């Protein structure tokens, strides 16, 4: 049974919650990525075996929005470390009878839950519940605010492929305005020394874009020519993106990542997407599924998902193991 530890010096303060990457120092991010790398090596060894560092811990996966990747990878990660999980979905809970988020969390805490993984449609929900519970809170995506474990797994994937994050040029393409993935990646990538670009129509550019410390593009060919890697965002149709765009067809023509565009710009990009993807809108089928092109752009969408398990193991062990 393998033991993996965060190699933190005595002076460094322990994290209690992970609600976002804003204000998380590069040193802490690097420790999490290093620990995830240890976990990933074991995960893909064919016969993974881990110390049950979260034995006797109960983690509530509290999802007020649908999820495939995040929910399952937290659950798998928790089981690898020996934790028990409690699955909560709003539609089958007393939220449907009018119970508040705060009362829901307090009631789960009263059942001796040790930590909360929260996904919620409201920006700030994860920070809000850190003031309600004494237990650890991990943000699994809150409104348009942050999705820190997604950004960590994206950064892990970039570091795995390029060997480093520092000085890497990463362009985030698409619905930046509504994207918690974009916000967390911007904070995390800038903290660890990457050059970050964002590329989107002006209507999907955040109002504070020129204060984020990123390079702004509205022309996708120019953005691709600048970048080493692209994180393509899902057009968030459920967050009323339609009102910001003349039509999906037009968006796809100007901002869709296609083979034709990659060939035209002659760039070999590493292509990431957090999922779920809107095929043939922000990314073509061919680019999304392009796994092993010889000397060409490469998509690593499923590798990101694998890396998500390792990252969530690293986060949960770091926050919960010594509680």
Pick the closer one to ligand CP by CB: 174 or 274. 274
Contact 232, 282 (CB under 8 A): yes
Give the contacts of 172 (CB within 8 A, at least 6 positions apart): 179, 182, 185, 186, 196, 197, 198, 199, 230, 231, 233
Nearest CB to ligand CP, comparing residues 67 and 306: 67
Under DSSP, the state recorded for 242 is G
**Eight-class DSSP state of 209:** G
For the bound state, the minimum distance from the C-beta of residue 40 to ligand CP, rounded and expressed in Å, comes to 18
Considering the complex, state which of residue 6 and residue 138 has its C-beta at the smaller distance from ligand CP.
138
Chain residues in the site for ligand CP (CB under 6 A): 67-70, 141, 150, 274-276
CB of 61: closest distance to ligand CP in angstroms?
Answer: 11
Angle between helical axes of 26-43 and 148-162 (0-180°, round to 10): 70
Q: How far is the CB of 294 from ligand CP (least distance, A)?
A: 29
CB of 69 to ligand CP, least distance (A): 4
What is the b/e burial string over 75-90, where b = at least 16 CB atoms within 10 angstroms of the residue's CB?
Answer: bebbebbebebeebeb
Q: Distances from the Cα of 310 to the Cαs of 43, 66, 209, 262, 297, in angstroms?
A: 8, 21, 31, 31, 25
> Closer to ligand CP at the Cβ: 4 or 174?
174
CB-nearer residue toward ligand CP: 30 or 67 = 67
Smallest gap from Cβ 150 to ligand CP, in A, equals: 5
State which residue, 12 or 238, has the beta carbon closest to ligand CP. Answer: 238
Distance CA 320, CA 31 (A): 15
Residue 316 phi, psi dihedral angles, 5° rounding: -70, -40
Min separation Cβ 309 and ligand CP, Å: 13
- Angstrom distance (rounded) from CA 26 to CA 242: 36
């Amino acid at each position: 049974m393998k033991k993996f530890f965060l190699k933190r010096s005595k002076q460094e303060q322990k994290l209690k919650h992970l609600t976002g990457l804003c204000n998380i120092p590069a040193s802490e991010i690097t420790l999490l990525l290093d620990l995830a790398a240890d976990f990933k090596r074991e995960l893909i060894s064919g016969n993974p075996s881990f110390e049950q560092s979260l034995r006797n811990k109960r983690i509530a996966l509290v999802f007020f929005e649908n999820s495939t990747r995040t929910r399952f990878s937290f659950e798998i990660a928790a089981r690898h470390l020996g934790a028990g999980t409690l699955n909560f979905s709003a539609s089958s809970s007393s939220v449907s009878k009018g119970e508040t988020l705060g009362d829901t969390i307090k009631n789960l805490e009263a059942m001796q839950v040790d930590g909360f993984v929260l996904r919620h449609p409201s920006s700030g929900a994860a920070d809000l519940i850190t003031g309600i519970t004494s237990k650890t809170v991990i943000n699994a995506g809150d409104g348009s605010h942050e999705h820190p474990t997604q950004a960590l797994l994206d950064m892990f994937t970039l570091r795995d492929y390029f060997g480093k994050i520092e000085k890497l040029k990463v362009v985030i393409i698409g619905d930046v305005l509504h994207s918690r993935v974009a916000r967390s990646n911007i904070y995390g990538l800038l903290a660890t020394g990457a050059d970050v670009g964002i590329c989107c129509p002006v209507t999907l550019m955040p109002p504070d874009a020129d204060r984020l410390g990123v390079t702004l593009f509205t022309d996708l060919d120019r953005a691709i020519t600048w970048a080493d890697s692209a994180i393509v965002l899902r057009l968030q149709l459920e967050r009323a993106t339609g009102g910001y765009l003349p039509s999906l067809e037009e968006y796809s023509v100007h901002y869709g990542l296609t083979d034709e565009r990659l060939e035209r710009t002659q760039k070999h990009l590493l292509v990431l997407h957090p999922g779920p993807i809107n095929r043939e809108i922000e990314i073509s089928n061919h680019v999304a599924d392009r796994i092993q092109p010889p000397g060409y752009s490469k998509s690593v969408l499923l590798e990101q998902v694998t890396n998500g398990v390792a990252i969530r193991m690293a986060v949960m062990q770091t926050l919960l193991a010594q509680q």
